[in-house]
């Protein structure tokens, strides 16, 4: 059903400054200017992933600058694109993060698998996802056996069978097939930064206006995992916010993740299935400014935006989802690679050959992190000026089609982009010596803060 034939990409290619302006317009706020240096092509991708990264980062920087005394932010496209592969550029005590998870095979088996009519991306990162894949394919969790079993399946049938038993997967569709589907239509109708006022509340001034970093005093509860949500809240912590990250003790991320994305946060355990722990978390959120979540089914625990706005008028609720929590695939989980597969992005990356991920390996997670952080700071600013409770929704599939809409990148770069020198910063803390890419924003008149040390999961109480 699905072939490797690529479809024509959009022909419009707005300059990065216009892309930044478009993102800012979605927030309903005014910001100062952003200077963008360089342009795609930076990588071999046919998509403008460097320009998209620079635009998302500049949009966030402009919102931060609007809270402080800076008027101009500058972002280099060449530096910005490195954010998309930060997980692969970061080392912990000299070791690449890809080498140190508890079970390296769990991540190694995440890949496109050829089917009878195309390709399907399968995820086995967490035990229940691995079990779902192996149950459907009736095979052990090895790449070779998964590949052999997948060949007997139709792409969509395999996707649906894995999802039906609690796993996550996505068939490789063309952009046109995605756009014509019910889920594609639903995702396309949403803005890439979906910011809305959901209830009335009195205006609230920030605790430390005009200080630097400007989010000092802002309280954030982070109930997210892996990359997109955690990186967005790490950005908030880096710029001064007080962040408590909440993790279910029996559903923790792979070992490198807290070190990669936990800078400046405290980490507490909480299982919302336990009434006492749920009550403690609800109390924590009641004293917060922002609640960021990336899990399905929170409504039954009273942790949805509408309930929280009644409990804590003026709350900002941020929802990360792959497909849209209230859309046709609202009950499906998803990850960066699945969004690329389903939306046609990966077929376009393959340029007529086998489906593939972008050369940065990750795309939506880091873009979503900066776009979500942009929406959060904009919502804080709007709450300060006009009051209200607010919701920010970021969907990974929508990020994909936003990048596709920016047009093609042009010819491939003449040099090997992977050999470029990378500007790293060093953070020492409980995990040891972490070297990671710097935040690639230059503020006029203020220093760019460096990430703070990360702490292991469950080492803090569930209190402020």
Q: For 79-102, what is the mean pLDDT?
A: 92
pLDDT-derived band at 2, boundaries 50, 70, 90 = very low
Which strands sit side by side in the sheet containing 442-443, from one edge to the other? 34-37, 73-76, 442-443
pLDDT of residue 415: 63
Pairing of strands 242-247, 169-171: unpaired
Give the start-end residues of each E strand in 100-150.
111-114, 119-122
How many Cβ atoms are within 10 Å of 125's Cβ, its own excluded?
18
User: Residues of 327-359 as b/e, b for ≥16 C-beta within 10 angstroms?
Assistant: bebeebbbbbbbbbbbbbbbbbbbeeeebbbbb
What's the rounded Cα separation, in Å, for the pair 376 and 273?
28
Q: What value does the mean pLDDT take over residues 92-101? A: 90
What is residue 414's predicted lDDT score, i.e. its pLDDT?
61
pLDDT top residue among 304 and 354: 304
Per-residue pLDDT averaged across 65-71, rounded? 83
CB contact at 8 A, 244 and 460: yes
The domain covering 187-327+361-406 belongs, at the CATH homologous superfamily level, to: Crotonobetainyl-coa:carnitine coa-transferase; domain 1 (3.40.50.10540)
pLDDT (0 to 100) of residue 16: 96
Determine the Cα angle at 92 with ends 88 and 98, to 5°. 40
DSSP symbol at 267: E
Confidence of residue 12 (pLDDT cuts 50, 70, 90): low
Does residue 109 surpass a pLDDT of 90? yes
Could you tell me which residue, 82 or 101, shows the higher pLDDT? 82
Average pLDDT over residues 210-215: 88
Q: In this structure, what is the dihedral angle of CA atoms 75, 77, 79, 83, given to the nearest 10 degrees?
A: 100
Q: Is the dihedral of CA 196, 202, 203, 208 positive or negative?
A: negative
Sign of the CA dihedral running 283, 289, 293, 297: positive
Q: Give the pLDDT confidence score for residue 417 in this predicted structure.
A: 73
DSSP 42: S
Peptide bond into 41 cis (omega under 30): yes
Query: Percentage helix, strand, coil, to 5, in the chain?
Result: 40, 15, 45
Contact indicator for 142, 310 with CB cutoff of 8 Å: no
Average pLDDT over residues 440-448: 94
> How many angstroms separate the CA atoms of 123 and 339, rounded?
12
* pLDDT on residue 364: 96
In this structure, the dihedral spanned by the alpha carbons of residues 321, 324, 330 and 332, taken in order and rounded to 10 degrees, is -40
pLDDT at 405: 97
HEC sequence for 159-228: HHHHHHCCCCEEECCCHHHHHCCHHHHHHHCCCCCEEEEEECCCCCCCCCCCCCCCCCCCEEEEECCCCH
CB atoms within 10 A of CB 33: 15
pLDDT of 5 over the 70 cut: no
pLDDT value at residue 9: 45
Identify the burial level of 4 via C-beta atoms within 10 angstroms of its C-beta, where 0-12 means exposed, 13-18 middle and 19 or more buried. middle
Nearest Cα to 87, choosing from 141, 46, 125? 125
Distance CA 24, CA 4 (A): 36
Cα–Cα separations (whole angstroms), residue 420 to 43, 79, 161:
11, 10, 42
Name, in order, each residue with C-beta under 8 angstroms of 157's C-beta and a sequence gap of 6 or more: none
The secondary structure of residue 109, as a DSSP letter, is T
Sign of the alpha-carbon dihedral angle for 199, 204, 207, 211? positive
Nearest Cα residue to 89 out of 332, 440, 461: 440
Q: To the nearest whole number, what is the mean pLDDT of the chain?
A: 93
Of 158-162, 205-209, 306-310, the one with minimum mean pLDDT is: 205-209
pLDDT tens digits for 351-410? 988 899 999 999 999 999 999 999 999 999 999 999 999 999 999 999 999 999 999 998
What's the confidence (pLDDT) of residue 4?
37
Within 10 angstroms of residue 37's Cβ, the number of other Cβ atoms is 14
Mean pLDDT calculated for residue range 326-347: 97
Domain boundaries, the chain: 22-97+416-444, 187-327+361-406
pLDDT tens, position by position, 127-153: 999 999 999 999 999 999 999 999 999
């Amino acid at each position: 059903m699905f072939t490797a034939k690529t479809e024509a990409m959009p022909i419009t290619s707005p300059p990065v400054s216009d892309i930044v302006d478009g993102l800012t317009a979605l927030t309903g706020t005014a910001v100062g200017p952003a200077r963008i240096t360089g342009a795609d092509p930076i990588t071999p991708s046919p998509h403008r992933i460097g320009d998209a990264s620079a635009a998302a980062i500049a949009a966030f920087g402009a919102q931060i600058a609007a809270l402080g005394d800076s008027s101009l932010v500058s972002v280099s496209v060449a530096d910005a694109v490195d954010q998309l592969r930060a997980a692969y550029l970061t080392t912990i005590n000299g070791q690449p993060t890809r080498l140190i998870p508890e079970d390296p095979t769990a991540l190694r088996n995440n890949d496109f698998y050829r089917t009878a009519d195309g390709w399907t991306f399968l995820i086995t990162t967490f035990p229940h996802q691995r079990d779902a894949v192996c149950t459907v394919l009736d095979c052990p969790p090895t790449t070779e056996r998964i590949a052999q079993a997948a060949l007997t399946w139709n792409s969509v049938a395999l996707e649906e069978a894995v999802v039906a038993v609690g796993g996550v997967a996505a068939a490789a569709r063309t952009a046109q097939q995605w756009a014509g589907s019910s889920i594609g239509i639903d995702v396309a109708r949403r803005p890439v930064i979906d910011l809305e006022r959901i209830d009335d509340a009195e205006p609230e001034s920030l605790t430390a206006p005009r200080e630097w970093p400007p989010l000092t005093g802002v309280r954030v509860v982070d109930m997210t995992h892996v990359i997109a949500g955690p990186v967005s809240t790490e950005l908030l912590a880096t710029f001064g916010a007080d962040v408590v990250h909440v993790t279910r003790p029996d559903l923790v991320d792979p070992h490198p993740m807290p070190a990669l994305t936990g800078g400046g946060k405290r980490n507490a355990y909480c299982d919302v299935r336990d009434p006492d722990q749920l009550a403690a978390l609800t109390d924590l959120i009641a004293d917060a400014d922002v609640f960021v979540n990336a899990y399905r089914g929170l409504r039954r625990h009273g942790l949805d935006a509408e309930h929280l706005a009644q409990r804590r008028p003026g709350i900002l609720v941020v929802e990360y989802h792959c497909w849209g929590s209230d859309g046709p695939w609202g009950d499906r989980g998803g990850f960066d690679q699945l969004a690329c597969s389903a939306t046609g992005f990966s077929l376009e990356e393959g340029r007529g050959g086998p489906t593939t991920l972008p050369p940065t390996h990750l795309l939506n997670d880091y873009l979503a992190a900066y776009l979500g952080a942009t929406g959060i700071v904009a919502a804080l600013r709007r709450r300060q000026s006009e009051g209200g409770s607010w919701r920010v929704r970021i969907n990974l599939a929508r990020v994909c089609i936003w990048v596709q809409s920016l047009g093609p990148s042009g010819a491939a770069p003449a040099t090997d982009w992977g050999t470029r020198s990378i500007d790293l910063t060093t953070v020492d803390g409980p995990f040891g010596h972490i070297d990671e890419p710097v935040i690639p924003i230059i503020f006029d008149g203020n220093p760019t803060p460096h990430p703070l040390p990360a702490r292991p999961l469950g080492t803090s109480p569930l209190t402020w």
